Copies of this chain bind each other. A is one copy, B any other.
Amino acid sequence: MNGKFITFEGPEGSGKSTHIKLLKAYLEERGIEVVLTREPGGTPLGEEIRKILQHDHSEPPVPSAEVLLFLASRAQHVERLIRPALQQGKWVLCDRFADSTFAYQGYGRGFDMASLRAVNAFAVSGLQPDLTVLLDVTPQTSRERLAVRQASTATTPDRIEREAAAFHERVRNGFLALAKEEPDRIVVINTEREPAAVAAAVRAAVESLTLKSPTHPPPGGGCSGSRQ
């Protein structure tokens, strides 16, 4: 597997979709083939599941069914899109992945973390991100950004966006706790500043990943230092 798997995580309104696109453009300028995808979704099956999860439904899923639907979508995503792309040497940038399950369903909804990790392990069968960019934002700023977005696009908040403020506070703190547990994988980036500064911080995190574990062996240097 030669590609790199980079996930973007963070609360709503943290700028994930903006910064993932900026990183894609930056990598492509450097000749890297990039696949941009998102969870839930990313495959035809995943998009159907996404519809059930994000829009009001005749019958909303109970919390455990919600978790299992997210993970069904993830299993499909990993096997049909992410792993094949990595095997072809492409870099995969994914908007949300396992850390969202742990933050939203574990810290947010109170599911037991060990059970969540067991069910997630079943879905991903060994795949871990090489780097996770955690875009951090306070719940207050997140709310303000969502209000602006909804006013400008005339969209209405989906089911998860309408959750109570306490829930979003727990989710944000959950993301930060996950980053503390895995500081080598998860890089926390404060997004309450100029977008250009945030984009530079994202690029720096990605550069340091490349230095840590080169995707391609250094010219003339064989495989030493590469753990791929």
Question: Measured between alpha carbons, how far is A157 from B116 in the docked complex, in Å?
Answer: 36
Can you list 13 contacts pairing A with B, beta carbon distance less than 8 Å? A45-B57, A45-B65, A61-B72, A61-B75, A64-B122, A64-B123, A67-B122, A68-B69, A68-B71, A68-B119, A69-B69, A115-B118, A118-B119
**For residue A115, which residue of chain B has the nearest CB?**
B122
Range of interface residues on chain A? 20 to 34
What's the nearest-Cβ distance from chain B to residue A111, in Å? 9
A interface majority secondary structure: helix
List 20 extra interface pairs beyond A48-B52, A64-B125, A68-B71, CB under 8 A: A43-B59, A44-B58, A44-B59, A45-B52, A59-B76, A61-B75, A62-B76, A62-B79, A62-B80, A64-B79, A64-B122, A64-B123, A65-B72, A65-B73, A68-B119, A68-B123, A69-B72, A72-B72, A115-B122, A119-B122
What's the nearest-Cβ distance from chain B to residue A56, in Å? 13
Determine the chain B residues whose CB is within 8 A of the CB of A125 once the complex forms: 64
List A residues at the B interface (Cβ < 8 Å). 43-45, 48, 52, 57-59, 61-62, 64-65, 67-69, 71-73, 75-76, 79-80, 115, 118-119, 121-123, 125
The oligomer's copy count stands at: 2
Determine the chain B residues whose CB is within 8 A of the CB of A45 once the complex forms: 52, 57, 59, 61, 65
From B76, B115, B118, contact of A65 by CB (8 A): B76
What's the nearest-Cβ distance from chain B to residue A52, in Å? 7
